[in-house]
Amino acid sequence: MIRVPISEFLEIYLGAVLFWTFAVWLISNWVRRRRDIAARRLVIRCTICGHQFRDPSQNPLTRCPACGRLNERTAYSGL
């Protein structure tokens, strides 16, 4: 059995907990960000009427359901 003073054991334990908490936070943040980017690719805002709609197709041009104008698929910033 390895003898470790209680202060070193606490340092190692707290360091490991801190490391895993940071790693889980980093991974969950990365997953959420990729999900947001993927969701934004589907949202199109009409350049004429400003109507926002989702289009899951991969067509470069899509028709606005409100005014009927063809819109190019561009990255949607959200605001």
Which position among 51, 53, 63, 76 is part of the footprint of Zn ion (CB under 5 A)?
51
CB of 42 to Zn ion, least distance (A): 17
Which position among 49, 52, 54, 74 is part of the footprint of Zn ion (CB under 5 A)?
49
- Cβ proximity to Zn ion: between 14 and 66 the closer is 66
How many CB atoms lie under 10 A from the CB of residue 72? 9
Separation CA 43–CA 75 (nearest Å): 8
Report the residue count for the chain: 79
Looking at 2-10, 14-22, 34-42, 45-53, which segment touches Zn ion (CB under 5 A)?
45-53
CB 46 within 8 A of CB 23: no
CA angle (32 as vertex; 29, 34 as ends), nearest 5 = 110
CB of 53 to Zn ion, least distance (A): 8
